[in-house]
A and B are shown apart, each in its own frame.
Chain A
Amino acid sequence: MHIGIDVGGTNTDAVLVEGRSVLAECKTTTTADVTTGIIKAVSGLQAGHSFDPVAISAVMIGTTHFVNAVVEGRGLAQTAAVRLGLPATKALPPFVDWPQRLRQVIGGHSYLCHGGHEYDGRVISPLDEDELRGVARDIAARGVRSVAISSVFSLVNGDFERQAAEILTAEVPDLFVSFSHEIGRLGLLERENATIINAALRELAEQIADGLTDSLTAHGIAAPLYLSQNDGTLMDLEYARCYPVATFSSGPTNSMRGGAFLSGLDDCAVIDVGGTTTDVGMLTNGFPREASSEVLISGVRTNFRMPDVLSVGLGGGSVVRETPNGLEVGPDSVGFRLGEQALVFGGDTLTATDIAVAAGLADIGDAALVKNLDRTLVSSVLDHVCDQIATHVDRMRTCPAPLPVVLVGGGSVLVPDEIEGVKDMIRPEHHAFANAIGAAIAQVGGEVDRVFTIEQNRRDEVLDAARQEAVDKAVAAGAKAGSVRIVEVEEIPLAYLPGNASRVRARAVGDLVLEEAPRRGRA
C-alpha cells in the first residue's frame, strides 16, 4: 500500500493505492507551508479507508512548491556560478540573460575559470587549482553557501565539474554543490541556468524535505518518501534535497501519467481540463514526450527535462463572450471564483461551466439559472471547445495513426464523447485524482544525453553503450534490475559538421524497489 500526493497551486490531492486499485482519495486546499495541507490530506485518506501507518510502503509527492519559489523570488539562497571553460565562453558570463530582479535575489556571484572539453572529449584547458582555490576563498568571504558548477561539454566528460567541486569543498567544507552535467542538457547557458536555479533552491529543499518528513512522522508513517520529477519518475528524498529543480514540471506530468495508468494505456494522448487551462500531452511507453526546446522559468532560459505540454486557455471557468468577431471562450477565467461568478451559482458571468450545465453535460449549481440560455449559443460554444481541443490533440500527434485519448480533470465535462480524428475517448474512474495517482506510480529512471563520435560500422556499439549506461543509471537510482527497460533512444547527427558526431539520448526506466528500500534512506 502506498500514498500519492499532488500539491498544486490550489488543491492538494491524495490517493491511497494498492497495486492498481485506488482505495481512498481526498482533496484539500493547499496551505502556504505545504506540510499542513499534506497532514490534512493524509487524515482524509485515513477517514476514507482506515489503514495502519506501518503498512504504507512509500509516499510519493508531486509539488509545485519549488517552481513557485522561483517565480515569486522567495526562499532563494545566495548562489555562486562557477563556470569551467576559459578561454572559451568568456563573451557570455553566467547570469548573462537573467532578469535583473532574480539576478539580484541570488546575488549574481559569477566566476569564469579554466577547464572544459571539446565536443569530442579533448580538453579545452586544464583545471587551474590555484584559480579555483581563489574562487573558493571569495565565495566564503561573501558568505555564499551554494555553488553551481558548469563545465563546457560536461555531458561528454563530467570529471572537471567533480574535480572542481573537490577543490572548492576542500576550502569551504560546508558548501552545497550542484553539477550541471547532472541537471541539464546540451546548451551551456541553459544548462548552467538550470543548475544555478537548483543551487539557489538547496536551502529551501532542506526545509521542505524536513517538513515533509515531519508531517508524515506525525501520522506514524516511517516509509521512504519520494518526489516526482519532471519526466514522471521518482527521486528519493535525499536526492530531492540535492536536485529540487527536477520537480519543476511534475504537475502536468503526473496528471498525464495518472490518466494513462487509470486507462491502462501506454500510448495515448491525455487531455487535462482544469478551471483555467487545458493541457494536452502525449504519452509513449507510459511517459510524456519531452519538450525539445528551451523553457523559460520566470524569464530564465533553461533546458532541463520538461514534458511537451500544449496548454490552451480553456477550462471550466473560461468566460464566454459573443463579440463582433464571433464567439470567444477564454482565455480569461473566473478561476477559483467560479462558485460566486458563474450563472449557475447566481453570478452574472457566462462561463463554460454554465454552458455544460445548460447542455445537460454536468450537474453543478442550479440548472434552473441557465435553462433560458439560447440553445444555438450553447451548441456553438460546445462546438468551439470541441474544435479547439481536436486541433490541439492533432498538433501534438507524431504520426497520423488514430490515437486513443484519455480525458481527466474537473473541467472534462465540457468535452463531448466524440472528437474529430479521435478513435477512442476514455474517461477513467477517479479521473479528478489523475495527478495524485500519477505521483503514486513507482518508477525510477536513468538518462544519457551526449555527443558521440560514431566511427564507421560502429554505430550499433555506440548506441548499445548509451543504452547500457542509461540502464545502469536507472538501477543506481533504485530500479529493480530486471524491470528496467529503454523507453527512448534518439540519435541526431549534428548539422554543418562533416565528421561523424551525433547527439545520442537514451532513457531507461524501471520499477522502484519498494520492499527492500531502507526506511527514509537513499534507495
Chain B
Amino acid sequence: MREIGAEELRHIARGAAILGAGGGGDPYIGRLVAEQAVLECGPVLVAELREVPDDALVAGIGMIGAPTVMIEKLPAGEEAVTAFLMLQRELGRPITHVLPIEVGGMNSLAPFPVAASLGLPVLDADCMGRAFPMVQMVVCTLDGVLAKPLVVADEKDNAIVVDVSDNHWAERLARSATIRMGCTALLSSFPMSGRQARDITIPGTLTLASRLGRLVEEARRERVEPCQAIASFLGGRVLLAGKVVDVMRARDPGFAKGEARLVGDGTSCLLAFQNEHLVASRDGEIVASVPDLICVLDVEGEPVPAERLRYGQRITVVGAPCHPRWRTPEGLALVGPSAFGYSHEYVPIGV
C-alpha cells in the first residue's frame, strides 16, 4: 500500500480527464473535494489488488448525474459517506476497501473523500478502465456481480436503497432517483469480496491515471509535445494529428451527440461522439471504436471533451486499447458499438 496526498490527486485528475475519452466530466470539482478531505484527514492509502485479502469486503462509489449540474450545485461532502455507510448497514458487516467505479473523468476521485474520512484504503482498480455513460457498463456485469443493493444519496440527506434484478435496472432506477434529487447524487454499490475484486476489476488504473497525469505535466515543463508519449504510454497510437474542420451536433436530450470531421497529414477522419468519443473512421472504414479509448487532445495534451469540440481546434487523436474483458463477445454486447446504436462490427485498434 502507498499513500496518496494532495499532489498526486492533481496528477490523477489530469490523467483521469484523458482516460475519460471525451466524457466523464471535468475532475476539477472532484479534485477540490478530495484535496479538502486529504487536508483535513490526512493522506489516503491505496492498495494494490494483490494486497487485498480474499475475505475483504469491497464496495464501489461514484457520482451519478449531470456534470453540468455538479459544477453549480456543489456537493455537501457527507452524501458520499452517507451512501457508503448505508450500503454497509444493508450488507451487515464492515466494508474494508473503497473501489473506484469509473477511472475516467470526475469519478476517479470520488472514492478519496470517503476513504479519507472513514480511514479506509482505496483499491488501485476500477470497473470501466475509462468513462462510460451508464451504470451497467462495468466489468462487474460480465461476471454477474450486481449493483445489489444499490444506494443513491443526495446532499439534502435523502438516500434510497434499491434492490435490483440486474444492472440495467440499476441504471434505470438510480437515474430516475438522481433526477428527482436534482440531477446529482452519489451512488454506492457493487459489493464484492476481495477475491472477486481481484478476479473481476481492472487493476492498476489509479496508478495509470496518476502516471499519465505526471507524464503530461513533465512534457509541459520540458515544452515537448506530449501526445505521442501519451499514446505509447497507453499502448495505443496516434490516429491523426490535425484540425477540426466541421462539427455537426444532433439534438438528443441527455447526450452531447454528433460528429466531427478532422483533417491532417493529408488524410481526414470522422469522429462520432455521444458524451464520449466513440468511433473514428477514415473513408468509411473504422479505425477505432468503442470500447477502445479515443482520446482527443490539444497541443498541450489537455483532453478536449466532446461538448467542447469546435471548428479550428488543433488536435491529436489517440486511440488506445480498452481492457481485454471488453473485447470478448459478452463485453462487446455490453459496451461495444451496438450498445451505442452503431451497426458496425468492433474493430480493435491496431498498434
Contacts and interface: CB of A to CB of B under 8 A. Distances in A.
B254 A496 contact: yes
Interface stretch (B44-52, B207-215, B245-253, B288-296): B245-253
Contacts of B252: 493
Interface stretch (B140-148, B306-314, B342-350): B306-314
B175 to A, nearest CB: 6
Contact of A498 (B68, B69, B253): B253
Contact of B307 (A398, A495, A498, A502): A495
Interface string B148-161: 00000001110000
A190 B72 CA distance: 9
B236 interface: no
Interface in B176-197: 179, 182-183
A122 interface: yes
A265 B246 CA distance: 24
B71 interface: yes
Interface range, B side:
35 or more
Interface string A322-341: 00000000000000000000
B164 interface: no
Contacts of A500: 253
Contacts of A116: 73
Q: Which 6 A-B pairs have the closest CB atoms?
A: A91-B77, A118-B182, A89-B74, A498-B254, A497-B66, A88-B155
B179 A498 contact: yes
A119 B29 contact: no
Interface of A: 85-92, 96-97, 116, 118-120, 122, 124-125, 152-153, 186-190, 292-293, 394-400, 451, 492-503
B308 A87 contact: no
B255 interface: yes
Contacts, number: 145
Given A493-B254, A495-B23, A153 B73 contact: yes
Interface of B: 23, 25, 29, 32-33, 36, 65-69, 71-78, 113, 133, 155-157, 175, 179, 182-183, 243, 245-246, 251-256, 275, 306-308, 310-314
Contacts of B243: 394-395
A498 B179 CA distance: 8
Contacts of B175: 498
5 contacts: A124-B156, A496-B25, A496-B65, A497-B68, A501-B183
Contacts of A497: 65-66, 68-69, 179, 183, 253-254
B253 A119 contact: no
A495 B73 contact: no
Task: Please classify the interface of chain B as helix (H, G, I), strand (E, B), loop, or mixed, using the class held by over half of its residues.
Answer: loop
Given A87-B78, A152-B72, A396-B312, 19 more contacts: A88-B155, A90-B78, A91-B74, A119-B66, A187-B72, A188-B73, A189-B29, A190-B71, A398-B311, A400-B311, A494-B66, A495-B255, A496-B66, A497-B68, A497-B179, A499-B253, A499-B254, A500-B253, A501-B183
Given A88-B76, A91-B74, A118-B73, A496 B275 contact: yes
Contact of B254 (A86, A124, A398, A494): A494
A419 B195 CA distance: 64
B39 to A, nearest CB: 11
A254 B7 CA distance: 40
A182 B325 CA distance: 50
A363 to B, nearest CB: 35
A293 B303 CA distance: 13
B76 A119 contact: no
B313 A395 contact: yes
Given A400-B245, A499-B179, A92 B32 contact: yes
A187 B70 CA distance: 8
Contacts of B66: 119, 494-497, 501
